[in-house]
Amino acid sequence: MDNGRVAGCPCGVGGGYGECCGRLHRGAARALTAEELMRSRYSAFVKRDEAYLLRSWHPATRPATVEFDPELRWTGLEILRVEDGGRSDTKGVVEFRASYGDGVMHEVSRFVKHDDAWVYVRGKTISHPA
């Protein structure tokens, strides 16, 4: 709440954080698609929610901890491409750009269903010439 207004969700879908990605972060719901998981993970980076990031990471590729740069402020998410990753799929790819300060992170992320839940496997960062 800020001056009586409900803050929008960082993922950019619309609505408030609590009804959008917040319900996934709290464990009240699961992501139904790879894109929804991608968006919720972006919001978790914005909110610095290490527990959710680790829970939504495949056990075979999950790090022990997530390091957050205290100076980094994420400012926007743009989904560029979604390949598979629907409710009835078992794998999917989401290509996105996440903005921060004066920069952009461009990644192609891979997701799979593990124990009937979407999880992040790994991502490949795309470099752009300066």
* Strand ranges in 69-127 using DSSP code E only, listed in sequence order: 74-84, 91-100, 103-114, 117-126
38 and 109 Cβ atoms separated by less than 8 Å: yes
Residue type, 88: S
- What is the per-residue pLDDT for 2? 36
Instruction: Report whether pLDDT(5) > 50.
Output: no
90-96: list long-range contacts, CB under 8 Å, 24+ apart. Answer: 91/34, 92/33, 92/34, 92/35, 92/118, 93/34, 94/34, 94/35, 94/38, 96/38, 96/42
109 and 53 Cβ atoms separated by less than 8 Å: no
* CATH no. for 21-126: 3.10.450.50
- What is the per-residue pLDDT for 19? 94
Domain segments of the chain as ranges: 21-126
Instruction: Report whether pLDDT(75) > 70.
Output: yes
Average pLDDT, the chain: 93
Q: Which residues pair with 93 in a beta bridge?
A: 83, 110
9-34 tens-digit pLDDT: 999 997 899 999 999 999 999 999 99
Give, rounded to a whole angstrom, the gap between the first and last alpha carbons of the chain: 38
Which of 98, 96, 89 lies closest to 33, judged by CA?
89
Average pLDDT over residues 81-103: 96
- With bands split at pLDDT 50, 70 and 90, how would you rate the model's confidence at 127? confident
